[in-house]
Amino acid sequence: MGSYTSQDLRSPKQHGRSDIILRSGWGKEGRGNSLRLHSSPLHSKRQRQQDCTADAARENLRVPRHLTTMDGVNFLSLLLLCLTSVTHGNKANKHKPWIETEYQGIVMENDNTVLLNPPLFAVDKDAPLHYAGEICGFKVHSGTSGSGAAKFEAVVLDRSTGEGLVRSKEPLDCESQREHSFTIQAYDCGEGPDGANSKKSHKATVHVRVNDVNEFSPVFVERRYEASVPEGRLFDRIVRVEALDADCSPQYSQICFYDIITPDVPFAIDNDGNIKNTEPLDSKRQRVHTFWVTAFDCGKNRAQADAQVIVTVKPSCKPGWIGWSKRVEYIPGSGNIPLFPSLHLETCEETVWNIQATIDLQTGHIGKGCDRDSYSDRSVRRLCGALRGEVDLLPPPSPAANWTAALPTLPSSDSSLIFSFNGTKHVAVVPDSVAAAVSGDHFTLQLWMRRGGTNGHAPTNQARGSHKEEEIIVCSTVRNDDSFSHYSLSVHGCRLSLFYWPDVTAAHPVKFLWKLEQVCDSEWHHLSLSVQFPSITLYVDGVTFDPALIHDNGVIPSPAPRQRVVIGACWEEKPKDLVNNTIPEGRDTGKFVGGYRGLLSGVTVRPGSVEPHSVVECLYACREGLDFGDLETLGSGMKVHVNPSQSALVLEGDDIESFNRAVQQVTYRNSLRFATPGVRPLKLTTSLRCFNEESCMSLKQLEGYLVVLKPDAPQITLSGVGPHLARPAPEFEGPHGVPLFPELRITCSLSHSVNIAAQDMEGG
């Protein structure tokens, strides 16, 4: 019976390898048998299993039947030690899976598979070990864009090769989000079927772009497009249509071209939607053109609905005033009539920000500057309630008033006499007897004046802005109780001045100055100067004007203390002839200075209290002129200005519609019962200011005329008179006789109100 021996366990270490050798001796030959087990960290589990099996085979290990119980225990211990060594070697999962650091992916809107570049593969250095060298899954983490686990997942296609696939959990919409970013990790199968001690790779970034699908068709921004163009012209663009596409990619969201689907229309459309006409349009042949257009995106999808285009052809437009009537008729007694009831301004769609129109009514040839009452001065004063007591300084020549006999005269339409002054020889010296009647420091000086010669044009040395010497109209030195006062009324260029000396021996003179266009426009004007020193009131054509300047002239040579009133100049004494500021008896030396050039009429002075404003306005205001209908209806931003004589009216505004309404309310008025018939020239001057000054239009001046028709002659009618008067003879013999015209009625075609108070003041 053989015996079984066992050596102690030894573990030599050679080149990193552990060998376990089991030795035993049994059998007939007493041959020792041994089993070598290898354990190396560089070997795989399968390799260690193969090594263990091979060693056992090589040793031809057998368990003899004749082994004792002790021998069996020893053998089982040996087998258990071998299996334990094999099991311990299979648990070595030493490496993490590895994947790329970044992937670029593409997915179509109508698909869920993401095509990655590079493809998704995970590798593990533990391969080909079972579990440890295999890839069991991929994990998706959310990225900065919010995408990730909520929208994407990754699956393993092959565990041994590590191939994976990324796909979306639900359909993606390119229009709502075109780019997605997230991270992904791979993990192996661990050390066994339960995945224990599995390892994960680093996180790789995945960028996924959603590719568009042509799912939307173009949609027009408007269903209808309208435009208006003037006829007879070719335009590069009349109107632009526009369609939009909701797709997200340039390929499908862009509109590649438009098309006019209505045949035989004189229009064309380009790829940007601009519509132009291919031939000049004629409003008479066709006023409105209607056609349809469609749009295609770059994927050749046609618009869901076509758009309608309406082009209105306007007649040829010429900027200017439309509705101008060159001749306007006025029937006396009609009150106010509109001059331009249908006039309106056409700017041909040019944008303007300021419009100014000036209407001029020329009435200088009618009487003294405009239409006034043609009654005699005495009748007019009576009708207006003027005070009595005026002294005429330029009366018609007569034996009793011979100081005007040497002056040239001109006729006038109102039967008054007009005197001409040439600035040199024509001077009127009022006699002392008349001058004594106008003394005092309270008085009213009135006169009619027109600068220039008989032709109505100012001499060259009196043109606007001239710096020649003053022209004196009236120069008066009169006695006031025990002193002398002096004043002179003169013109200089466009200035009217009153030089007043309350006391020539004591007080300094005061000068009142007015700057007036009426002084230098070579037209007739009425001046009324009311003096209640130190208060001075000037009326020009019945309108009040305040002085522009009042100043003390300081110490200057005093006028000669001698009563003298001169019209058309002023008498200046020689200084050497003055002795103690007086003129010696019998000596009268000096010269006339400041000669007046122009026409004068109705020069009067009334001492005492001054005329009320209402009376002055009634006496000398123009009875005709321009007016505005209703200021309350004036549009916003509109301005109206009328000059004092109402011969010029200016309209200014920034809105064409409001401006046109305002122009149509400009009226002509003439309050005279017997208006002077004749022609009054009219002019309309327009100034426009545009946002584009270079292309701003300029309008020519319009000219016309207002014709005041001849008024009907007044008629007096007798009625109630029978053709025969027959009565019984006894009636004729009665004490009262027989009335000859018992039913007589006298009627007049007109009536005229008379100021009864004025009649009482005159004693009439």
Residues 545, 669, single domain; the answer is no
Q: Which of 241-245, 694-698, 753-757 has the lowest mean pLDDT?
A: 753-757
pLDDT per residue as tens digits for the range 286-318: 999 999 999 999 988 999 999 999 999 988 878
464 and 612 part of one domain = yes
Residue 12 has pLDDT above 90, yes or no: no
**Residue 620: predicted pLDDT:** 76
Q: What is the mean pLDDT of residues 39-61?
A: 41
Q: With contact defined as beta carbons under 8 Å apart, do 280 and 234 qualify? A: yes
Q: Are residues 520 and 480 in the same domain?
A: yes
Q: Which of 70-79, 213-222, 381-390, 474-483 has the lowest mean pLDDT?
A: 70-79
Given pLDDT bands bounded at 50, 70 and 90, which one contains residue 20?
very low
User: Do 540 and 449 reside in the same domain of the chain?
Assistant: yes
CATH of residue 541? 2.60.120.200
Cis peptide before 534 (omega within 30 of 0): yes
pTM of the model: 0.53
Q: Are 520 and 462 in contact (CB under 8 A)?
A: yes
Residue 571 has pLDDT above 90, yes or no: no
For residue 660, being part of any structural domain is answered with: yes
Q: Kindly state whether residue 301 falls inside one of the protein's structural domains.
A: yes
**Higher pLDDT among residues 381 and 2, named by residue:** 381
pLDDT of residue 733: 81
Predicted pLDDT of residue 466: 47
Section 495-521 average pLDDT: 84
Which residue shows structure tokens 């609905």? 305
Domain boundary among 667, 685, 708: 708
Q: Which of 39, 64, 89 is the last residue of a domain?
A: 89
d(CA 131, CA 97): 12
Q: What is the DSSP letter of 652?
A: E
Mean predicted confidence (pLDDT) in 628-652: 85
Report the pLDDT value the prediction gives residue 588, as an integer from 0 to 100: 57
Is it the case that residue 30 has pLDDT exceeding 60? no
Percent of the chain with pLDDT over 70: 79
Lowest mean pLDDT of 88-102, 279-293, 538-552, name the range: 88-102
The CATH number covering residue 266 comes to 2.60.40.60
Residue with tokens 């030396």: 589
Q: Are residues 683 and 589 in the same domain?
A: no
Domain annotation covers residue 3: no
pLDDT at 277 > cutoff 90:
yes
Give the H or E element holding residue 294: strand 288-297
The pLDDT value given to residue 751: 63
What sections of 402-442 are H helices per DSSP?
432-435
Q: Answer yes or no: is 757 within a domain.
A: no
Higher pLDDT, 622 or 302: 302
Domain with residue 355: its CATH number is: 2.60.40
Q: In 522-628, where do the E strands start and end? A: 525-532, 535-540, 543-545, 549-552, 564-567, 570-573, 590-593, 597-607, 624-628
pLDDT band at 717 (very low <50, low <70, confident <90, very high): confident
On whether residue 725 sits in a domain, the answer given is: no
Shared domain for 229 and 298, answered yes or no, is yes
For the stretch 579-615, pLDDT in tens is 444 445 555 567 888 899 999 988 989 888 777 888 8
CA distance 277 to 231: 11
**pLDDT category of residue 223 using cuts at 50, 70 and 90:** very high
Mean predicted confidence (pLDDT) in 147-169: 89
* Structure confidence at residue 79 as a pLDDT band (50, 70, 90): low
Is residue 400 domain-shared with residue 531, that is, in the same domain?
A: yes
Same domain, 150 and 199: yes
pLDDT at 749 over 90: no
User: Is 717 among the domain residues?
Assistant: no
pLDDT of residue 636: 79
H helical segments located in 277-415: 377-384
**Is 727 domain-assigned?**
no
Q: How many CA atoms lie within 13 A of 97 on its CB side?
A: 35
In this predicted model, which residue has the larger pLDDT, 264 or 37? 264
In a domain, 8, yes or no: no
Range among 14-18, 55-59, 536-540, 574-578 with highest mean pLDDT value: 536-540
Domain encompassing residue 17: 13-89
Please give the pLDDT value at position 714.
80
Q: Quote the pLDDT of residue 741.
A: 78
pLDDT at residue 386 is higher than 60 = yes
Q: Which residues pair with 13 in a beta bridge?
A: 18
Distance in angstroms (rounded) separating the CA atoms of residues 388 and 758: 10
Residues 515 and 659 in one domain: no
pLDDT at 158 over 90: yes
Do residue 252 and residue 309 come from a single domain? yes
Nearest to 514 by CA among 482, 481, 536, 484: 536
pLDDT at 61 over 70: no
C-alpha dist (Å) from residue 52 to 46, 59, 79, 89: 10, 11, 11, 11
Find how far residue 525's CA is from the centre of its chain: 43
User: How many angstroms from the chain centroid is the CA of residue 521?
Assistant: 38
> Which of the four pLDDT bands, split at 50, 70 and 90, describes residue 102?
very high
| Residue 560 DSSP SS3 | coil
Q: Which helix (H) or strand (E) holds 88?
A: helix 69-89
What are the tokens at 67?
């082994």
Whether residues 655 and 545 fall in one domain:
no
Model confidence at 38, pLDDT cuts 50, 70, 90, reads: very low
Choosing from 592, 620, 648, the residue where a domain stops is 620
- 223 with 188, same domain? no
- Specify the pLDDT at position 19: 40
Q: How many domains does the chain fold into?
A: 5
Residue 60 has pLDDT above 70, yes or no: no
Q: For position 129, what pLDDT does the model report?
A: 87
State the average pLDDT over residues 108-130: 90
